[in-house]
Amino acid sequence: MIHPWLQETWQRLVALGERLPHALLFVGPAGLGKRDLADALAARLLCATPRPDGCACDRCTTCQLRRSGNHPDLFMIVPAADMEAGNGDESREGGERDIGSAKKKSTQIVIEQIRDLQQSLSVTGHQSGRRVIVVDPAEAMNPYTANALLKLLEEPPAGCLFVLVSSAPRRLLPTIRSRCQQWSFSQPATDVVGQWLGTQEAPAADLLALTGGMPLAAQRLAGQGAGALLARFVRDVAQLPATDPLQLAGQWEAWLKSKEALAAGFGIVQLVEWMQRWVTDLASLRLGGRVRFFPREEEVVRALAQRSNVAAVLNCYNEFARIRRVAQHPLNARLMLEDMLLRYARALAEPRS
């Protein structure tokens, strides 16, 4: 299925036909459907009888092989954690992924995967001769893995199409970006999203705002029961700095281990990201902007912003960005939570400039 906000892009891809380049790079925020579009394009190219709208027929032999996960000419290069969890690009909204199972497997694309790909591509295609390689997320490659892929992009085997999906293209090697035709995706128009949500089991408006208007990310969070988690987060963080940050850190540590959080795949990474977005709204209001991520809590955010020091709030955001980079594998989750909440409380306690 092609989402309505991607229809125009899809038609452009279909119109290219045999003029498709050997490598595409889909870039934009997670939660828009970039991976879905890559999968649809792969299905079309491998299908024996595509429909008039360009989509795969889902009935021919090659489509049946693809749907069963056994098509020999379709290669999915994703981290082991995403393969185990069954997630692709759209499970992340700047890191919005199911944390629970992802910890058990690598979150990187490792060089062995590219070496296996090189070996597979050294032989002729099994079906029509066309082969499709989807790499998602492309930024999950370390420099060694990226250089191995670069060799394939520089001298692609005949009949191969590479589709790289990325929410952080600046983390890719410039040489990889230069070998791909880049297709950029942006936030869909509000009316288009509204019409789509009207035909779906609509996620809560709070979750849609939290994801920056990314409909698929909001829908996934709603399916994970994130509405109740978000309500608790807002209640707790709105009480700072009046409450003891160290006490709250202890409560949050226990919360992350609760059945509710584990069932939703809710972990410390998401907590840090939500804190980042909370502070972003504080800084935005302090600088004359608007509340973007927590519109329902605008009165609370505005009251905090009016008595906060803008420099301290901005510095707090930068510190949270640093914490986010190591949150996936914290050495001590309790200390990380205490550090984060103490920094936030101090930022609000600084005299307003």
| Confidence check: pLDDT of 201 > 60 | no
Q: How confident is the model at residue 38 (pLDDT cuts 50, 70, 90)?
A: very high
Question: Tens digit of pLDDT for each residue in 269-305?
Answer: 889 999 999 999 999 998 889 999 999 899 999 988 8
Q: How confident is the model at residue 263 (pLDDT cuts 50, 70, 90)?
A: confident
DSSP string, 101-167: HHTTS-SSB-HHHHHHHHHHHTS--SSSS-EEEEETTGGGB-HHHHHHHHHHHHSPPTTEEEEEEES
Question: Tens digit of pLDDT for each residue in 320-337?
Answer: 888 888 877 767 889 999
Structure tokens at 255: 């919360």
| C-beta pairs of 224-231 under 8 Å, 24+ apart in sequence | 224/98, 224/264, 224/265, 224/266, 225/260, 225/263, 225/264, 226/264, 226/266, 228/260, 229/260, 229/261, 229/264, 229/266, 230/206, 230/274
327 vs 47, higher pLDDT: 47
CATH of domain 4-186: 3.40.50.300
Q: How confident is the model at residue 227 (pLDDT cuts 50, 70, 90)?
A: confident
Q: How confident is the model at residue 243 (pLDDT cuts 50, 70, 90)?
A: confident
User: Which sequence spans correspond to the domains of the chain?
Assistant: 4-186, 224-349
Q: Which of 9-13, 199-203, 207-211, 229-233 has the lowest mean pLDDT?
A: 199-203
**Structural contact between residues 31 and 214, judged by C-beta atoms closer than 8 angstroms:** yes
Structure tokens at 352: 């307003």
Q: How confident is the model at residue 176 (pLDDT cuts 50, 70, 90)?
A: very high
Q: In Å, how far are 218, 235, 256, 269, 312 from 266, measured between CA atoms? A: 14, 17, 7, 8, 28
Looking up tokens 């003029």, which residue turns up?
19
DSSP 170: G
pTM of the model: 0.77
C-alpha 126/C-alpha 121 separation (Å) is 11
Given this model, what pLDDT does residue 330 score? 64
Fold category of 224-349 in CATH: Zinc Finger, Delta Prime; domain 3 (1.20.272)
